[in-house]
Amino acid sequence: MWKPDHRLAADRRGLRYPSDLTDAEWALVAPLIPPAKRGGRKRTVDVREVLNAIFYVLATGCQWKALPKDLPPKSTAHSYFMLWNWSRTLERIHEALYVAAREAADKEPSPSVAVIDSQSAKAAQKGAHQSIRRVSTRVRKSPAANDISLSTRSGSCSV
């Protein structure tokens, strides 16, 4: 149940975009960001802004090329996204923010109960991606087309 202190914690009105990191969230996430590579140039990009750009794309579903001009360029944001996705940095960031959000709501860090409906269970058993692909790409032929192809096959085979 939402309480006034929960609403205060979830309020994102002071941010430029609702997907931007608050200072408290950044304090949690900053240690998880890998340092710049040794031996190369110093990092000139603001990593917090790059993360804000990644969160903007993930929250809005927009294309990389549709990033607002006040966020880092799409090439920079996408490169960091690919790098951090490959190194599982984004997974660690998600886990840290998830645990913090659950603890702020006075809940256990990991959920103790899950609800799964029968459709989800069936999809998980079959492999949801394959079953979705099969259903969406099935070609339906008319009965007349089936009769023609059967008569053609049977006529050509009975020589």
Dump pLDDT digits (tens) for 63-75.
999 999 999 999 9
Q: Taking the alpha carbons of 100, 79, 61, 135 in that order, is the dihedral positive or negative?
A: negative
Q: How far apart are CA 24 and CA 1, in angstroms?
A: 23
Q: Taking the alpha carbons of 95, 96, 100, 101 in that order, is the dihedral positive or negative?
A: negative
**Contact between residue 50 and residue 80 where contact means Cβ atoms under 8 Å apart:** yes
Residue with tokens 């990389």: 64
pLDDT at 53: 94
Q: How far apart are CA 129 and CA 127, in angstroms?
A: 6
pLDDT at 71: 93
**139 CB-side CA count, 13 A:** 3
Dump pLDDT digits (tens) for 14-57.
778 888 888 888 999 999 999 888 888 888 999 999 999 999 99
